[in-house]
Amino acid sequence: MRSRGVTWRSVLIGLLLIPINSFWIARSETGSTIFYSTTSSLFCNAVFTLFILTILNEGLKLFYRSGSLAQGELLTVYIMVSSASALSGESVGQQLVRDISAPFWYATPENEWSSLFHHYLPNWLTVSDKRILKTFYEATEGNSSLLYTTNPHNNMVTSYPYLVCIYHIARIHYDMCKRHRKKAMDRT
């Protein structure tokens, strides 16, 4: 039997599990009892997801052998969940918030940043409202998360999930096209 790797089924399962794992990470890393699941080399949420998926897959083999996932498909789901976990984790979030807001917060008339490069930064990707940024840069104990609650239509909150989705869709598309080209070259 040929080993299956990236299939539509494995990609669909991965896409369904990504929001669940991202929610899990957000809850565990920002809740009252902080547990940083994305600070270890093996993301425990991704390993646990693979464990549960493997148990369910073994149960499926008992009743419907041909419908069970192959090892390559399980690996595809694990890679997708791990990649999304890396992007959803606390460390990336801290860096991303700072990187997409710093050009506006630190812009002064003396450094002329607003005239030099602000027009190159897309509005949908950055936060330029200094009232909102003030809660992030001048946060006191107890209100450090106001960046996400001050304005429900804040660009930072709405653009981050889109960036993660766009990255994963682009990566999957690139890999599938690469595999298709390789198969086409092998046939000739």
Q: What is the pTM of this model?
A: 0.55
137 and 105 together in one domain: yes
In this prediction, residue 152 carries a pLDDT of: 45
Residue 114 CB neighbours (<10 A):
14
Residue whose C-alpha is closest to residue 104's, from 126, 120, 135, 122: 126
Q: Structural domain of residue 31, as residue ranges? A: 1-88
* The predicted structure's pLDDT at residue 147: 45
Q: Is the domain of 152 the same as that of 75?
A: no
Write down which residue in 67, 88, 109 finishes a domain: 88
- How many domains in the chain? 2
Residues 101 and 164 in one domain: yes
Cβ pair 165, 135 in contact under 8 A: no
DSSP 64: -
Q: Are residues 176 and 136 in the same domain?
A: yes
Dist CA 141 CA 44 (whole Å):
29
Same domain, 32 and 117: no
Let me know whether 63 and 1 are in one domain.
Answer: yes
Contacts of range 23-32, beta carbons closer than 8 Å, 24 or more positions apart: 25/85, 25/88, 25/89, 25/90, 26/88, 29/89, 29/90, 30/90, 30/145
Looking at the fold, whether 165 and 106 belong to one and the same domain comes out as yes
Contact present, 39 and 99 (Cβ < 8 Å): no
Tens-digit pLDDT string for the chain (188 aa)? 456 778 999 999 999 999 888 888 877 776 655 667 777 778 888 899 999 999 999 999 888 878 888 899 999 999 999 988 888 777 666 667 777 788 888 999 999 998 998 888 888 777 888 887 877 777 655 555 544 444 444 444 445 565 666 666 666 766 777 777 787 778 76
**Domain boundary pick from 31, 62, 88:** 88
Let me know whether 132 and 59 are in one domain. Answer: no
Asked if 72 and 96 sit in the same domain, the reply is no
Do 99 and 75 sit in the same domain of this protein?
no
Do 77 and 126 have their domain in common?
no
Of 69, 88, 107, the residue at which a domain comes to its end is: 88
Q: If you ran DSSP here, which 8-state letter would residue 176 be given?
A: H
Note the pLDDT of residue 32.
53
